[in-house]
Homo-oligomer: A and B are copies of this chain.
Amino acid sequence: MTFINTLQTAWKKQDSLVCVGLDSDLSRIPDHLKKEKHPLFAFNREIIDATAGLVCAYKPQIAYYSAVGAEKDLELTIHHIHEHYPGIPVILDAKRGDIGSTAQKYAAEAFDRYQADAVTVNPYLGEDSLRPFLNRKDKGVIILCRTSNPGAGDIQDLETGGKKIFRIIAEKAVNQWNENGNVLLVVGATWPEELGQIRSLAKGMPFLVPGIGAQGGDVEQAVLSGKTQDGTGLIINSSRGVIYAGKGEEFAEASRHAAEALRNEINRYR
């Protein structure tokens, strides 16, 4: 099973476009978990067990682990998902990008060490920097196109030959980088107009859509602008809105309610 196949099956089987972002921060997890040997894993495990019936993917953000030396927590988290919920793919959000020989090592980090099913990558270094990822046919390569942050346009909106850079990236992704059918794009929910433009040219290519919730993206607009004809095509991520939905002992139950509410809201517009 390739990442794309697994994703398509999960969309259907789970009836969900929701991705839960595991941006788990030591300073924000409930106190009773802080004394665990692997507190971020303990937190993630409960979130995962509570939400696994409601999502099409999980997306740990690697910086939350590497900032505090919690690589083991990340390994345990991904292993837990694979072992208990094998139909739910794991996207490692790492935004890697480097020259070929180093990109090879980053691909090994994401796919071999952490056993992620897909990874986010930054296209600024050009095609040869993406090749070590693209060559992994069974894995997903999710290329930054129009990101969700306020300053996304600083570089991504610069125009060249009448087209903005993010559009050039989308065109290259569709026409040059996708021979293995394993490319996806990152398009922020905070920019529904751009999301619609990129959908028009990217046909059925799946998008990872961050920016819902804490970042201010609107669910209805994102779904209507970004969905494919069959009402899929989107991996709509919520991190803080789900994982910090509640506090104390009931945090996982609260995360389940938040994930369910988001799934239902998204499904209303598909």
Contacts and interface: CB of A to CB of B under 8 A. Distances in A.
Interface of A: 23, 61, 63-64, 66-69, 71, 95-103, 105-106, 108-109, 112-113, 122-129, 144, 147-156, 158-161, 165, 168-169, 172, 210, 215
A158 B165 contact: yes
Stoichiometry, as copies per complex, reads 2
Contact of A124 (B103, B123, B150, B159): B123
Given A95-B122, A126-B150, A155-B165, 6 more contacts: A23-B102, A63-B96, A63-B106, A95-B96, A122-B124, A124-B144
A147 B160 CA distance: 20
Given A61-B102, A95-B98, A96-B95, A155 B69 contact: no
B67 A69 contact: no
B124 A155 contact: yes
Nearest to A63: B105
A152 B126 contact: yes
Nearest to A130: B151
Which 8 A-B pairs rank lowest in CB-CB distance, beginning with the nearest?
A: A126-B151, A126-B154, A63-B105, A128-B151, A99-B149, A67-B108, A67-B105, A158-B160
A24 to B, nearest CB: 11
A97 B95 contact: yes
Nearest to A102: B63
Contacts of A64: 102, 105
A168 B153 CA distance: 13
Nearest to A106: B63
A128 B113 contact: no
26 contacts: A23-B102, A61-B105, A63-B105, A64-B105, A66-B106, A66-B113, A67-B106, A67-B109, A68-B113, A69-B113, A95-B98, A97-B97, A99-B215, A122-B122, A122-B124, A123-B155, A124-B144, A125-B149, A125-B156, A126-B147, A126-B153, A126-B155, A126-B156, A128-B149, A158-B168, A160-B160
